[in-house]
Amino acid sequence: MNQSSFPALSRRGMLVGAGVAGAAAVAVTAVPQALKAPPVATTPETAPEQGGGYRLSAHVMRYYQTAKV
């Protein structure tokens, strides 16, 4: 066989192949971690009858921390 029968590898083809291989590696490592995460079930709290529904929760505290000037 002579060398002209083999296709020449271009730089673009090599970069595309490396990108596909990298994406495949990320997918292989991410899928098992996503399957291991147990579903989180939260029960909604009922609102008080006489108002006063404001509660200082972790979510509200995080907002106050990010809103500081």
The domain segmentation of the chain, as residue ranges, is 10-36
Q: What secondary structure letter does DSSP report for 3?
A: G
> Cα dist. 13→6, 23, 37, 52 in Å?
14, 15, 37, 64
Instruction: Summarize the confidence of residues 1-29 as an average pLDDT.
Output: 77
Q: How far apart are CA 62 and CA 26, in angstroms?
A: 31
Q: Enter the pTM of the model.
A: 0.36
Assign 55 a pLDDT band (cuts: 50, 70, 90). Answer: confident
Distance CA 7, CA 5 (A): 7
